[in-house]
């Protein structure tokens, strides 16, 4: 393994050009704390890339937005199944054009499961922002319940538009991410269960921090690991911890057993 340097000292584009012109084969790794990107070369061609959940060209372009990280290279002739087909020059041009923008978007809006609500607003009272029809469409939907995927579907805007608008609103102090969906271990209610999900009162306290649920949560959506969902009423009490007590008929419908994991979010 050879240490090349850091992204503070050398640009990723220069590293890619260097290995391409030198017809290198091996693995370039970019490490920034817990984050890691891996780029594989075969005789100077970039054939494979991974960066977190990203892969292929998307992963490589994302690296152009990294501000820090240590670069190392390990020579290696092992073949891998390619997930990149573009030539190096085209990849570098794409990375320089949109890499920083797309990386910033992924930091602010990490997935379509992320949820946002209206924020307090800009700290600078003199700041003004222009709001168009598309922006207003998204602002009206920021209720602390809809996730990004639902914003895309409900607004009928493109994914690119929704991500762009959300990032602009976040950076302007007009939108803030909230953590609504939580994971719990399933426990069966007793035979005299009330037909509602039972959660710890501390969960209620967390959800009350969301604007939409400041007065409390009455209903939740339960989602199994296989994506099946159902709405349920909810009650809160102390001592439940990270468990959720579900009606036995719901467990049967979902083919759940005690100890299985489900995710739950407030909906009303």
End-to-end CA distance of the chain: 55
Residue 67's nearest CA partner among 35, 114, 94 is 35
Read off the CATH number of the domain in which 141 is found: 1.10.10
Q: Are residues 156 and 188 in the same domain?
A: no
In a domain, 77, yes or no: yes
In a domain, 109, yes or no: no
- Of 38-52, 118-132, 172-186, give the lowest mean pLDDT range: 118-132
- pLDDT tens digits for range 18-73: 999 999 999 999 999 999 999 999 999 999 999 988 999 999 999 999 999 999 99
Among 102, 131, 155, where does a domain finish? Answer: 102
- pLDDT tens digits for range 195-220: 899 999 999 999 999 999 999 999 99
Q: pTM above the 0.75 mark?
A: no
For 236, counting Cβ atoms within 10 Å of its Cβ (0-12 exposed, 13-18 middle, 19+ buried), the class is middle
Distance CA 235, CA 144 (A): 20
User: What range does the domain containing 37 cover?
Assistant: 2-102
Among 73, 102, 131, where does a domain finish? Answer: 102
- pLDDT tens digits for range 84-104: 999 999 999 999 999 999 999
């Amino acid at each position: 393994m050879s240490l090349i340097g850091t992204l503070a000292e050398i640009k990723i584009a220069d590293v890619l050009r260097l290995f391409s012109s030198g017809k290198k084969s091996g693995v370039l790794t970019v490490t920034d704390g817990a984050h890691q990107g891996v780029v594989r070369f075969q005789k100077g061609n970039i054939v494979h890339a991974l960066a977190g959940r990203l892969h292929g060209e998307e992963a490589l372009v994302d690296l152009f937005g990294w501000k820090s990280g240590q670069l190392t290279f390990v020579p290696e002739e092992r073949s891998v199944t390619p997930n990149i087909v573009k030539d190096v020059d085209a990849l570098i041009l794409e990375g320089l054009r949109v890499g920083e923008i797309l990386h910033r978007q992924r930091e602010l809006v990490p997935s379509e499961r992320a949820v946002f609500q209206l924020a307090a607003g800009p700290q600078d009272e003199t700041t003004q922002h222009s709001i168009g029809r598309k922006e207003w469409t998204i602002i009206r939907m920021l209720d602390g319940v809809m996730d990004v995927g639902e914003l895309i579907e409900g607004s009928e805007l493109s994914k690119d538009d929704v991500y762009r608008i959300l990032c602009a609103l976040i950076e302007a102090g007009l939108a803030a991410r909230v953590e609504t969906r939580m994971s719990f271990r399933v426990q069966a209610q007793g035979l005299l269960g009330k037909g509602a999900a039972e959660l710890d009162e501390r969960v209620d306290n967390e959800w009350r921090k969301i604007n939409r649920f400041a007065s409390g949560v009455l209903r939740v959506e339960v989602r199994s690991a296989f994506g099946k969902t159902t709405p349920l009423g909810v009650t809160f009490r102390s001592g439940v911890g990270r468990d959720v007590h579900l009606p036995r008929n719901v467990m049967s419908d979902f083919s759940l057993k005690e100890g299985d994991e489900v995710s739950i979010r407030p909906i009303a």
